[in-house]
Amino acid sequence: MAYSFAHGGDLGALSTPRVRRLLRSSSTTSGYISWKNSEDVEFNTLEWVDWFNNRRLLEPIGYVPPVEYEAMYYQQQMAPVMVIGVK
């Protein structure tokens, strides 16, 4: 059985319209994705989640990937704080 977003294939939990739009828009230029089995669906979904969490550029945080921004945040938190006027 082939799975397909373009033709409304049965994808269980992945059949929500939002997930279908996200995967379709980020996977191919033609908007057609075809999988041979559920493992193909799972692998493509994991690739998309990796891109979403690690490589996409986010405008509100300065067009940097979320992972990079988080690393900068924690690096800033670890920087020593200089206290003035305390004896």
> How do the domains of the chain map onto residue ranges?
3-78
Q: Given a cut of 50, is residue 3 above it in pLDDT?
A: no
Beta bridge partners of 48: none
pLDDT at 5: 47
Report residue 18's pLDDT band, with 50, 70 and 90 as the boundaries.
Answer: low
Mean pLDDT of 63-84: 86
Distance between CA 87 and CA 11 in Å, rounded?
A: 65
Burial class (CB in 10 A: 0-12, 13-18, 19+), 18: exposed
Instruction: Read off the pLDDT band of 4 (50, 70, 90).
Output: very low
